[in-house]
Structure 1
């Protein structure tokens, strides 16, 4: 089974994500992608993010450009077009269902275990669903698509 996860980052309770923090995450992601996909990237990286303020901040958008990521448009108020919302998090929620954790470290470990157990099919399925969801959105001339 080939591992598909490039990077997993956690941060301490009480911290918030701002543009600068997100820009640093993008730089770390770029390094992880280069390391994991060394010699395999021929067309660059398509990068998809929602419109959260830290993602759209000037410093974060500069980091997207500096990393040479090609940003995929994300229409406002479109959680149905975020693979993490419609595919990844529900899969993780199912994996974690019914379990109780005493510490943050136990939660982090369980999330890491979830990702360790996945292969590229998880992500392929999520991206294929994104393609279908975009097609529905275009067919409906931009109207919201739930499923």
Structure 2
């Protein structure tokens, strides 16, 4: 929810007689992940007590940001979506506006930030949120309809980084009174890591794939994992010979590429939105 919408809710709490503590508790209950802080609620309560009736941003002094226009916002959105690895200077040169204006557009208007050298949305878009709601409701409906059958057919996957060392916990590093600290080799933080793709169902892990050093998970690589998944399911889950597995995957680029969708179609899958059921046979 946006800041302007929260201001309206804060005004509603003020008008019905809730104090700041009760208003904060009410907002936390209904919006636990994005509710405003105590100081913001108190500031707006003070504004309303002084007679303020609107919840809009106050006029600010200074030179207006003439470069931040709807046309430039649309232009930069297209540029970033076409190439997420663009630098601020490159975007500024191409759009003929300053780097500060470009950053304002990316940060305030497009809600994007730099992550791993790529511009990505800071928050989920309304479409992405709705896709997750639809997927969750679909799975919940299937679970309620036949709980046993759902868990027999449900298969999912995820990727995770595995480091080449195991950091020592605080309990492990604790020294008993009267004993000297044991000598151990220095942990090399830069020892490296490997990407693991884990496929599992309600019973156990089906298989784990470790990405070779120097390679990346692209559509071609992921398609081979789907072929392997198909073989493993036929081998380890013979009860799925007649009923299709319910395969759930996220919306990573290689998972939703055209080549991957074609492969899923070849495996007699049903195309579905990210985080929704995809049947493979």
Give the TM-score normalised by structure 2.
Answer: 0.24
Which has more helix, going by share of residues?
1
Which has more strand, going by share of residues?
2
Greater relative contact order structure (CA < 8 Å, 6+ sep): 1
Give the TM-score normalised by structure 1.
Answer: 0.44
